[in-house]
C-alpha cells in the first residue's frame, strides 16, 4: 500500500510539474493577459490541486516550482515592465507562490480535521482553493508595496504613488483576484475529488 501511495504521489507531482511548465510557456494557457500589467493566472490551480491531493508539503513544493518558473520567465521573456520589475525579485516571485500551496494545504487538512463526509470534503476544497488564490495575490501586492513602492508606482500609473500603491494595486487587480479565487473554488473540488478517488 505504501509503495502504491508513493508511486501515486510521484506520478501526480510529475504531471503537475509538467503542467506548470506548459502553463508558463504556452501563450494564454497559464496567464490570460487582460491589459498590460494585469493577467489572470491559472497556475495557482495546479499548485492548489497538489496541496489538496498530495498534502501541504507537496503544495509548497509546487509553489516553489511555480515561483522559480515565474522568476525565470521574468528574466527570459517578461510580458510587461511591471512583471520585469517585480518577478526578478526572488521574494516576490517565490514566497507568495510557496505560501499559496502551504495555506491551501493547511486549510484543507486542518479545517474540521476528522470530519469526512462528502459534502464537507467538497467545502474544504472550496475553502482551500479560495484561500490559496487570495494568499498569492495579497502577498504579491504586499511585497510590491514593501520593495518597490516608488518604482512600481511610476510604472502602474493610475494616480499611484509610494503611499497609495497598495490600494491602487488592489483596485487594479481586484477583478482578476476575484476571478482567480472563484476559479479555484470551483475547479479545486471538481478535479480534487476525482484525483482523490483515483488514489483510493
pLDDT at position 1 is 47
Q: Each residue of 25-53: pLDDT tens digit?
A: 887 677 776 655 566 788 999 999 999 99
Task: Give the 3-state secondary structure of residue 38.
Answer: strand
Residue 35 sits at φ, ψ, to 5 deg, of -140, 165
Domains of the chain (ranges; CATH) run: 2-199 (1.10.1760.20)
> What length does the chain have?
200
Is residue 47 a contact partner of residue 56, using CB atoms and an 8 Å limit?
no
- Dihedral (CA of 116, 122, 125, 131) sign: negative
- pLDDT of the residue at 37: 54
* Per-run averaged pLDDT (10 residues), the chain, 200 residues: 71 93 82 65 92 94 96 83 81 96 94 70 92 93 81 62 64 76 90 75
Q: Say if residues 37 and 155 touch (Cβ distance below 8 Å).
A: yes
Picking from 90, 71, 72, 178, the residue whose alpha carbon sits closest to that of residue 129 is: 178
Q: Kindly state the greatest CA–CA separation across the chain.
A: 59
Tell me what pLDDT residue 30 has: 74
3-state secondary structure of 84: helix
pLDDT tens per residue, range 58-85: 999 999 999 999 999 888 877 767 677 7
- In the chain, alpha helices (H): 2-25, 43-54, 56-76, 81-86, 90-110, 118-156, 165-199
Residues 21, 22, 26, 30: is their CA dihedral positive or negative? negative
Distance of alpha carbon 172 from alpha carbon 132, whole angstroms? 20
pLDDT of residue 114: 61
In 10 A of CB 93, how many CB atoms?
Answer: 24
Amino acid at each position: 500500500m505504501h509503495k502504491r501511495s508513493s508511486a501515486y504521489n510521484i506520478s501526480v507531482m510529475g504531471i503537475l510539474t509538467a503542467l506548470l511548465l506548459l502553463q508558463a510557456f504556452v501563450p494564454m494557457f497559464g496567464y490570460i493577459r487582460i491589459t498590460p500589467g494585469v493577467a489572470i493566472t491559472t497556475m495557482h490551480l495546479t499548485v492548489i490541486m497538489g496541496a489538496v491531493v498530495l498534502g501541504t508539503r507537496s503544495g509548497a513544493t509546487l509553489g516553489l516550482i511555480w515561483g522559480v518558473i515565474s522568476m525565470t520567465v521574468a528574466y527570459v521573456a517578461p510580458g510587461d515592465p511591471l512583471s520585469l520589475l517585480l518577478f526578478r525579485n526572488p521574494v516576490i516571485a517565490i514566497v507568495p507562490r510557496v505560501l499559496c500551496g502551504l495555506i491551501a494545504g493547511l486549510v484543507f487538512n486542518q479545517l474540521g480535521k476528522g470530519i469526512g463526509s462528502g459534502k464537507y470534503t467538497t467545502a474544504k476544497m472550496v475553502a482551500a482553493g479560495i484561500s490559496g488564490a487570495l494568499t498569492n495575490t495579497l502577498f504579491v501586492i504586499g511585497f510590491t508595496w514593501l520593495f518597490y513602492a516608488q518604482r512600481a508606482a511610476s510604472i502602474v500609473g493610475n494616480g499611484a504613488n509610494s503611499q497609495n500603491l497598495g490600494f491602487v494595486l488592489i483596485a487594479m487587480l481586484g477583478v482578476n483576484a476575484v476571478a482567480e479565487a472563484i476559479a479555484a473554488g470551483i475547479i479545486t473540488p471538481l478535479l480534487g475529488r476525482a484525483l482523490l478517488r483515483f488514489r483510493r
